[in-house]
Structure 1
Amino acid sequence: MLKMKDFNMKAFFSPASIAIIGASEDFTSIGGKPIRNLINHQYKGKLFLVNPKYKQIQQYKCYPTILDIPTEVELALIAISSKRIKDVMEQCAEKKIQYAVLFGAGFAELGSTGEKLQQEVLQIAQKADIRLIGPNCVGCLNVLEQIPMGFATSFEAQTFLSGNVALASQSGAFGYSVFGLAQEEKIGFSYIANTGNQVDISTLDFLVEMLNDEKTDVLAAYLESIPDGEQFIDILKRAKEKRKPVIILKSGRSQLGQKAALSHTASIAGSSDVYEAVAEQYGAISVRDMNDMIDAMKIFSRKKYASGSKIAVVTTSGASGIAMADLSEEYELEMAELSSKTKEMIEGIIPSFGSSLNPIDITLQALNNKSILSDTIEALVEAEECDLVVVATTLGGKLGEKVCQDIIELDKKTEKPIIVTLTGRKDIVGGGLNILQNAGIPVYQTPSQTIQAISMLVKHSKYIRRSKDQTVTASQILLDDPQNVWTEEKVKPMLKNLHFNIPRGVVVQSEQQLQSVLNSFTFPVVMKVISQNILHKTDAKAVKVGIETKQEAINSFYELIENAQRYSPEAKIEGILLEEMLTEDGIEMFIGIKHDPTFGPIVACGFGGVFIEVLKDISLRKAPFGKETALEMIKSLKGYPILTGTRGRDPADINAFAEALSHVANFAYRQGALLKELDINPVVVLKEGKGIVALDGIISWGESLP
């Protein structure tokens, strides 16, 4: 593939000249709307119209082809059918345009024929160094300079509210619906990009540029696929460095959703569980629908982070406070325990029949005393024991407006986030609502919206504060013949170099070999069939534990071979593994690796043995990572309390398990695509200080070294 010139978002969004190919005098059509939108928003560059059907459209001359335009053209908006697209692209190549937005459908989203056409268009563009947006795209919007480049319904607004949020969306309908609804909430934007089938420039490419934009503080994206896993992770890493939150709605989570995404923009949606794990690991703010995305935009666009998770709620209604207290527990937030000093200060402000306990009920006496609410908020702003202040009120009219103005003044004086729940009809509370929204104060209609938004802010603030997880360097392991499948007799010696203990064992191929080594073993012992064709030995009755005597071992040798041959007559049996049996108590866990086509090696851990499929208590992360992330993985398991010691059990050696987990992760990362799958199950986690023991393991290798 030819190397394309770098994508310069500012050059694309601020073109000195635009040609609309397929221009129409019908301003309600796809070829006419872009003309009307640019005229209405007083585009200051040169506008050229191309369509052999017309001599002129309004005050603009219409050219037969783009080649007939006498001056240079930077951007082409192409509103023609897919049948004519190759000829038009050849003309654009000859004209040396820099960017082209392809509105038309009929490409890869329709299947193999459309995919072939899409690739042919891309090849024309690559040879001419033209960067493409689309196809199957409704256009892009430079909000800061009021330049609409497309036919989205949102472009028909008289003006656009500019601000510090940028949005990149594969879906035009979704992206501009979010934009329109967010504008109603007084959320301002810098840039909006719709990428459609993203044959060339992707949503991730736009996010890279948006991340570098000085006027953009919050990034949002709607993704139907992750075209480049490493680019996605790099964006999130750099976003943390720049303290710019990235809000993402990823569709295609269900099987039905994955099929819909494929037909929509020719995306191949990856594993939902893997995506969610990677997004959380690298600090993306995942949302489920457009309302959640807008709520996140509100709270993050204020550019205030939370120093902790302790919230203080002040309300004119006790019921609202109780609702927030209940929701706080659900979202893993804490209701701050107010100090005696803070309570004493609040008791001097609120009426005697109010409550200074958090949530604080100032009662509707606030209707008679206009300073009660603002004075209470100020006391909480000054209180070191709370990290965020939530105001829940239904006050409307002039009093509500005054209170909202007071909140703005207090917000200006503190870095502590102040969030408002303002409930009521807009004709009653609308004045105060407008005051808060215009000042950028996060304001929500319900306690549930408020607490969910706070939860996102608190979680991301914690991620921002976290120091970089230092990955460990896996021990240098010389791999002998890394191909096909390694069964446990080859895997276990390697695991010893990755901080695992392994039982003493030897593989025997005959009764004579077995008898010659039995005297050196301490009973009880374990015996297992070794075969690349039998990976689940328990199902095949190809493993036997608790063998106490030499004769029992000899009998087991023949019994296991017979069971294996009955289970899989074609199986090649390489021998019987004889091991000393672990007799210490421990908790069975597992560690697994799978090479994901988008993100590379993904590490899984959870409770192991025969309970993997039953409990399905699994945590995922992308390799590589260090011990801190490994500990987070373990702590996120629902069964984590079992490891810490319950009902008189001793705590397990969590640190040893975390150490080994991080070493396995980094070993897998070093192998790259060569390592297809690794399964260590069970890993017995012994009592604290005793370490861990790997009792079984298997590796599936790729065909060649990376």
Structure 2
Amino acid sequence: MQVAEREAPIPGVRIAAKEHDVAASPGIARSSNFDRLFSPRGIALVGASAASAGVSGQPLRYLTEFGYPGRVYPVNPKYPEMKGLPCYPDVASVPDPCDLALIMVGARHVPGVIDQCGARGIPFAIVLSAGFQEIGEAGAPNQQALETAIARNDVRIVGPNCIGLLNLNEHMHAGFGGAMSNPNLRPGRLAMVTQSGGYGMGMVTAADQQGVGFSYVVSTGNETDITATEFIRYLLEREDTDAVVAYLEGSTDGRGLLEIGRRALELEKPVLMWKVGNSRSGRRAATSHTGRLTAGPELFRRALDQGGYIEIGDTDDVVDLAQFLRYRKRAKGDRVVILTLSGGAGVLIADLCEQHGLEVPDTSAETLAKLKPISPELGSLGNPVDLTPQGYGDNFASYNRVIETVLAAPEFDQAIVRSAPGPIAAVWADGFIEVANRSDKPVLLQWGSGSEGNPAAIAKVEASGIPSFLSPRRSLNALGAMHRFRMKAQRFRDRAGERSGRPVARQQLDLGASGGALGEHASKMVLARYGIPAVAERLIAEHEIDSVRADSLAFPLAVKIESPDVAHKTEAGAIRLNITDLAGFRLAAREVIAAARAYRPHARIHGVLAQQMATGTEVIVGAVDDPYFGPTVMFGLGGILTEILHDVTHRFAPFDLAAAHDMLAEIKGAALLRGYRGSAPLDVDALADALVRVSLLISDHSERIKEIDINPLFVRAAGHGVAAADALIVLHEIERT
């Protein structure tokens, strides 16, 4: 075995193999219990070096000097000892206990080391080495050999091409570079999973400088074996972690992200998601950077919105949210009282509250009566409560009495307090902390102008655990994000026992043995199996056109081609509307068939549809088996509102009626469904039911159904239901063996 020469990983660069690319050999179960990875009793440093400045030397120094309590085993056949420790010639010689191997050898030697770990019974390995698929064609042989070695061994692998792992609760710095080199990093209750090792370690350093610590940090590298979603799922379940920070460039496991989002809501532990690669150029850069295609930003954001995620975009967001995560008081509602010594600051804070969905209610008459005797004469006692600079008097005793009074008022759930400006805040801080701690309601402090020059007062408040901020905007961004997360979690819990059952059992469908599109009539027959109604219509074969009777048709009607090869009838000119008599029908039928054949000369023509002209409000309902997130349903108003304004919303299938009604409320044109300016309200209950049924159809049969398009679906007045006027189902192509 050779020690890695300057084959250092490239921070953040990775090519992620899909999970099925690394399949264990028969009888090997891939463990998802990472306890011994994050808290190993002993670590073998394979390819260790006594040159402490290098990549292969840093881990030995950090693990022996920073307080890691486990055993450390340097492995390098060139040396009998290293830094006073026995140095072993190979992995087989390493004594017990050993739960983790840190691999720092040349890429071509890594598969052999993994074989040694498997034979030795070491369950985990972190591969710091680079030179695999991330370097392109030159690394392909190494990548293939690595995947083969992983598949034949019961060893879970982090990386390759990563910078390692931190467990700050146990002073375990198992990696190199950046924050790894700081022995004084404070431990905390945030965990981090990062696809960019360099940027992730930069976040650790920046957060530490602002008083925020982490419990565990893992750089995932190429994710050839263990993925970011596996790590997020594991860390979310740990009792010593309040939240997980995730820095992702992309993921092949959209369904895993959905599952994590649901679990985060159940636990009321947020995942702070920093997703990069959202712009077109960013996605292009992420693809070239990671070799991983990314889901479109719209669906990714929808996954965050529906799950227990808080979207972040800066290290400051992590620092700010950490204050609320460690603050144990919880508001029972969204009613905020604002207290200030400056009217302008109060107006700004009130605006920010409403932008974040927080209510700023009026002060009640009962509370006003209690405030007047203890407030300055010029103060304004509505909400915001503004005591003006007169509140500076008597060492702010009156200000603190006012704070205590409003915290006791039943019309408020939480308080935002603006401090006195500058150095005089130190006089006020002790009394404020005492008042805030006596209340069971949460209090947020915003420091007045110039308070940054008063570190003693800031330190006192930080030590008390009360969230405090120099920036009103940052404080409300964090408060609003936590409020929305907790409201999502509350709704999720409330609905857990109320989720409605399926309105229709799973149906057995004969979808044939080929892919491609079904015709409109065939598509509607599939919809009908799931109870989704369609406009009345009749399929008439080409040879029946001249023999059809007028009394068998419901005029006025639309005449449309029925062909699986002509999906866009308008574009093909294969549709005629408002046909009022039999002669008109026969002419229209011949015209649409001729148009279809001109448009697609080899199209399969199954006849024409004679469809009753429909009335109602047009909406569009679609579904797709998304390659990342799986079955997904889309809803929007029809016509130009969908095409020009893109007024649509999405849900991941299957879902229940409550979620369907949420979809209806989310679009910008929701007022049109409820009845607007004298128009009758539409049958939103029937529409929600149809959305649920589409979600069941796509989720029950996603292995065959690729897309569903109902456009338009006509929604009639309340009590009169919905009906599909056009429909298209596209099937997955079946791979031939």
Check if 1:376 corresponds to 2:402: yes
Query: How far off is 1:602 after superposition?
Result: 0.6
Superposed, 1:163-182 pairs within 5 Å as: 163-182=188-207
Correspondence 1:163-562 to 2 at 5 A: 163-369=188-394, 370-393=396-419, 395-397=421-423, 399-401=424-426, 403-424=428-449, 428-466=453-491, 467-468=495-496, 469-482=499-512, 483-484=514-515, 485-510=517-542, 512-513=544-545, 515-562=547-594
Sequence identity percentage: 31
Contact 2:252–2:294 (CA<8 Å) still a contact in 1?
Answer: no
2:596 to 564, 571, 583: 564
Q: Cα distance 1:501–1:336, how it changes in 2: closer, same or farther (>3 A)?
A: same
Distance 1:392 1:355 in 2: 15
Q: Is the contact between residue 263 and residue 308 of structure 2 (CA under 8 Å) also seen in structure 1?
A: no
What is the identity, as a one-letter code, of the residue corresponding to 2:715?
V
Between the aligned partners of 1:514 and 1:324, the Cα distance in structure 2 is 74
2:684 is the alignment partner of 1:654: yes
> What is the CA deviation profile of residues 615-658 of structure 1, one whole-angstrom value per residue up to 9, with x for unaligned ones?
21110110010011111111110111121222221111112111
For residues 93-117 of structure 1, what are the alpha-carbon distances to aligned partners after superposition, in whole Å with 9 as ceiling and x for unaligned?
Answer: 4433222111122222223553552
Instruction: Give the counterpart letter for 1:495 in structure 2.
Output: L
Shift of 1:303: 4.1
Counterparts of 2:542 and 2:452, CA distance in 1 = 89
Task: Name the SS of the counterpart of 2:230 in structure 1.
Answer: helix
Instruction: Tell me if structure 2 keeps the 8 A contact 1:165–1:301.
Output: no
Structure 1 residue 694: deviation in Å?
0.9
> Is 1:664 aligned to residue 694 of structure 2?
yes
| Letter matched to residue 176 of structure 2 | F
> For the Cα contact (< 8 Å) 1:25–1:57, is it kept in 2?
yes
Separation (CA, whole Å) in 2 of partners of 1:309 and 1:291: 24
Residue of structure 1 aligned with 2:612, choices 574, 580, 585? 580
Match of 1:134 in 2: 159
Partner amino acid, structure 2, of 1:649? S
1:137–1:196 Cα contact (<8 Å) kept = yes
Quote the residue 2:20 is aligned against: none
1:512 and 1:74, CA in 2 relative to 1: closer, same or farther beyond 3 A? closer
Of 635, 658, 662, the match for 2:665: 635
Query: 1:501–1:693: 8 Å Cα contact kept in structure 2?
Result: yes
Q: CA deviation at 1:578?
A: 0.3
Deviation digits for residues 351-409 of structure 1 (CA, Å, limit 9, x no counterpart): 22222122222223343332233333322322222233112235344x52454444544
Structure 1 residue 543: Cα displacement: 1.2
Kept in 1: contact 2:565–2:603 (CA 8 A) = yes
Q: CA separation in 1, counterparts of 2:450 and 2:128? A: 41
User: Which residue is 2:176 aligned to?
Assistant: 151
CA shift for structure 1 position 696: 0.5
Equivalent residue for 2:634, pick from 604, 623, 627: 604
Residues in 1 aligned to 2:204 and 2:448: alpha-carbon distance in whole angstroms: 23
1:606 Cα deviation (Å)? 0.4
Instruction: Give the match's secondary structure for 1:105.
Output: coil
Q: 1-side partners of 2:436 and 2:148: how far apart?
A: 54
Cα distance in 2 for partners of 1:352, 1:99 equals: 69
Quote the RMSD (CA, aligned, Å): 2.5
Structure 1 position 216, deviation (Å)? 1.5
Deviations 1:301-345 (A, max 9, x none): 324444332222212222222222222333333222221222333
- The CA distance in 1 between the partners of 2:116 and 2:526, in whole Å, is 60
CA 372–109 in structure 1, closer or farther in 2 if over 3 Å, else same: farther
Check whether the contact 1:630–1:661 (CA below 8 A) recurs between aligned residues. Answer: yes
Q: 1:458 to 1:26 in 2, by over 3 A?
A: same
Secondary structure of the corresponding residue to residue 572 of structure 2: coil
Q: What CA distance in whole angstroms lies between the structure 1 residues aligned with 2:501 and 2:546?
A: 43
- Cα distance in 2, alignment partners of residues 401 and 471 from structure 1: 59
Instruction: Tell me, in whole angstroms, the C-alpha distance in 2 between the residues paired with 1:235 and 1:460.
Output: 14
Instruction: Report the residue type matching 1:575 in the other structure.
Output: G
* SS of residue paired to 1:337: coil
Q: How many residues align?
A: 702
Could you say what secondary structure the match of 1:332 adopts?
coil
Written as runs of structure 1 = structure 2, the 5 A alignment for 1:19-34 is 19-34=44-59
**TM-score scaled by length of structure 1:** 0.93
| In structure 2, C-alpha distance between the alignment counterparts of 1:653 and 1:404, rounded to whole Å | 57
Structure 1: how far apart are the matches of 2:699 and 2:287? 30
Residue 694 of structure 1 pairs with residue 720 of structure 2: no
Letter matched to residue 230 of structure 1 = R
What residue number does 2:8 align with? none
How far apart are 1:270 and its partner, in Å?
Answer: 1.7
Q: Distance in 2 between matches of 1:295 and 1:22?
A: 41
1-side partners of 2:427 and 2:170: how far apart?
A: 34
Would you say the 8 A contact 1:133–1:201 is kept in 2? yes
Residue aligned with 2:569, SS: coil
Is contact 1:317-1:393 (8 Å) kept?
no
5+ residue gaps, structure 1: none
Matched-pair contact (CA < 8 Å) for 1:96–1:128: no
Contact 2:122 2:155 (8 Å CA) reproduced: yes
Secondary structure of 1:215's counterpart equals coil
- C-alpha distance after superposition, 1:232-266 (max 9, x if no partner): 33333232222222221222222322233234344
Do structure 1's residue 594 and structure 2's residue 619 form an aligned pair?
no
**Cα pair 1:110 1:263 within 8 Å, conserved:** no
2:648 to 618, 621, 641: 618
Residue type of the partner of 1:175?
G
Which amino acid in the other structure matches residue 153 of structure 1? G
String of CA shifts for 1:114-144, please: whole Å, max 9, x gaps. 3552342243244332221111211111121
**Alignment partners' CA distance in 1, 2:613 and 2:452:** 76
1:355 is matched by which residue type in structure 2? S
Mean alpha-carbon deviation: is it higher for 345-354 or for 163-172? Answer: 345-354
